[in-house]
Structure 1
Amino acid sequence: MRKFDYLALDGHSLQLFLAVLEEGSVTAAAARLGLTQSAVSHSLQKLREIARDPLFVKSGRGIIATGHAQALAEPARRLLDQMQAFAAGAEFEPAKADLDLTIAANDFQRDLLLPTLLRQLQAATRSVRLRAIPSQLPSAEMLRENRCDLLISPVPPTGTDVLQKRLLSDHYVCYFDATMREAPRSMEDYLQAQHITVVYSDNERLQFDKRLEAAGHRREVAVSVPNFSGVPAFLRGTTMLASMPSLLRDSLMRDFAQVSIPLPDVAQQGIGDLPMYMAWHRRVQDDPAHVWLRAQVEIAAITALRDDTAPLQ
């Protein structure tokens, strides 16, 4: 029987193995890593020979991991973490750095912070590749399994190995098309109108909507879309209302009028509050590059708040 030297393993191969496992597709893994499908297939064959297992087998139009591949996932992640710690060094020099980052954020957090963050990183480092993925309802596993380097969300995951920091606080306001209707002036005006809201693709609802319902307020939701960017097309030219973050007023919702939500307990009970956090895994808490990255995210958040100068109508 031919023997394969375990020293033939390398970090790139382990990263590729985990990408295929997490994506469930050679094509998706290749796109994620910026490789060709043939390069991924060639590396997988090498791993199969080392592991003496198929690792992935065809299932319908896709592939599934074998039991042995699933068992290897956690050791592979630990090895990559140890390699990262070994190579981290005591210092980090941004000007000499080539960053490859994955940040999980839904569309509001993504569009508010990440373009500014990218410009900062491009100005300070030698090169940067940024991949933004949706966080949906964030889970600690996204960080534990290294699916992202950082997670930005109003509802960060919890766990003894997950750390977080508040970046900013926003609040919900009521948007409407001023050419079609007047602003809702009372609780009755607001609750009796038809509404547009966001329901993410995993059927997760906005915290605002959950809190409103828990407080006993019932609205007629006429339209739900999977992200905030889908709201303007449905709101324009109608008498509907959309309750969305105030920080969208100068970008996505700039063509609409807005007022405070006319429900007394929205402010009194914090129903309309919208904090934003960043979360990361404990293993990178003291990594110099990650410490620097988190500082850059905080600067981007400060910039977002500073640029939000338009008053409510």
Structure 2
Amino acid sequence: MNSLRGIDLNLLVVLEALFAERHISRAALRLQLSQPAVSHSLARLRQLLDDPLLVRGQGGLVLTPRAHELTAPLAEALAQVRILLGPGGFQPSMARRTFRLAMSDYGALVVLPRLLRAVRKAAPNIDLVVTQASRETMTAQVADGELDMALGAFTYQPEGVRTAVLFDDDFACAVDAATVRDTGRLDHVAYLARSHVLVSAASERGELIDATVARLGGRRKIACTVPHWSVAPALIAGTNMVLTAARRTLAALEDPRLTIFEAPFSIPGFSYSMIWPERAEADPGHTWLRERVLQAAATPASEAEAAISLRG
């Protein structure tokens, strides 16, 4: 077993940067060190841990299996050390840290812009690394410590994971404005007579919409299926197709070609939440970030409703 007396804590900070960047030059830039200094630290870490840690792969450096095992414990250990050695309160303007988040393009559209502006303004040296995965994968990665946080419509909370509801959302419709000049909307008969765009990444929500339509004795004709919410609105412009999507997604659109209106029937809504590892609960930096997420997501539902009524 290695003696703690022979370990330089700064090596762990270098290892954290290397795991995040997977590139020696970028890690050096992040740490404000020279590239030779980071290379020397990596050599010491390899000797200390008896593992190459990062090896050449397609597209650059990749983590070894041992490095993957160390990612979560390293993040947790450094978070606790920062609590122990840091000032009494978290100082965002002085903090240097990377947070790993996951969310779909829905979250990237309705939450991330406000969040990033708030973080950059108060803490310019805090970086956000945002990825996307299924809800099941995001939940597992949070539980395992691979992610600091994930945003989504989560249906269960495993042991060791904390959750907070950010807001509730429901559904509205968007069409090309030129196709509803007289009414500004569609009734359920006209709705079912048109073709529709389906977002496959939100297949469960699509199934919810179709189940509601089926109870009315109808069926949607899906003319185009796409993997992302963000591309769907552009597809309906210049066509007679209908997009039925989360209200906040549509409220964020700024396309004068489109008219947004209430769905012609009631569709059950959903809750959008933030999840994080329970072990990060007392981390002042993580607490600060959670507060920023709550603020970024705090657009009142009335604002989204107003955006739709004004543009419809």
TM-score, normalization: structure 2?
Answer: 0.75
Distance 1:225 1:42 in 2: 47
Q: Which residue of 1 aligns with 2:186?
A: 184
The CA distance in 1 between the partners of 2:81 and 2:51, in whole Å, is 24
Say how many residue pairs are matched.
294
Q: 1:53 aligns with which of 51, 54, 63?
A: 51
SS of equivalent to 2:186: coil
**1:185, CA displacement in angstroms?**
0.9
Contact 1:195-1:221 within 8 A present in 2 as well = yes
Corresponding residue of 1:236 = 237
Deviations 1:61-109 (A, max 9, x none): 6666545445544543443343244245542344554564443222222
- The gaps in structure 1 that reach 5 residues or longer are 21-25
C-alpha displacement at 1:278, in angstroms? 1.4
1:130 & 1:58 partners in 2: Cα distance? 25
1:122 shift after superposition? 4.2
Q: Could you give the per-residue CA deviations for residues 218-266 of structure 1, whole angstroms, max 9, x where no partner exists? A: 43322223322211221110011101122234432543112222235x2
Alpha-carbon shift at residue 209 of structure 1 (Å): 0.8
Q: Which residue of 1 aligns with 2:163?
A: 164
Provide the secondary structure at the position in 1 that maps to 2:223.
Answer: strand
* Cα distance, 1:292–1:175 mapped onto 2, change above 3 Å: same
Give the Cα separation in 1 of the matches to 2:285 and 2:101.
15
SS at match of 2:179: coil
Structure 2: segments with no counterpart, 5+ residues: none
Q: Is the 8 A contact 2:19 2:63 kept in 1?
A: no
Assess if the C-alpha contact under 8 Å between 1:172 and 1:274 holds in 2.
no
Separation in 2 of the partners of 1:29 and 1:191?
56
| Cα distance in 1 for residues equivalent to 2:34 and 2:197 | 41
Query: Structure 1: how far apart are the matches of 2:239 and 2:53?
Result: 54
- Summarize the alignment of residues 59-78 of structure 1 with structure 2, pairs less than 5 Å apart: 65-73=63-71, 75-78=73-76
Q: Retained in 1: the 8 A contact 2:152–2:274? A: yes
| Aligned-partner SS, 1:195 | strand
Q: What is aligned with 1:23?
A: none
Instruction: After superposition, give the CA deviation of every residue in 1:255-289 in whole Å (9 maximum; x if it has no partner).
Output: 3112222235x2xxx2xx13221111111212333
Answer whether contact 1:156 1:279 (CA < 8 A) is retained. Answer: no
Contact 1:5 1:50 in 2 (8 A): no
Structure 1 position 279 matched with structure 2 position 275: yes
Question: What is the letter of the counterpart of residue 109 of structure 1?
Answer: G
Q: Distance in 1 between matches of 2:28 and 2:173?
A: 38
The one-letter code sitting in structure 2 at the alignment partner of 1:191 is L
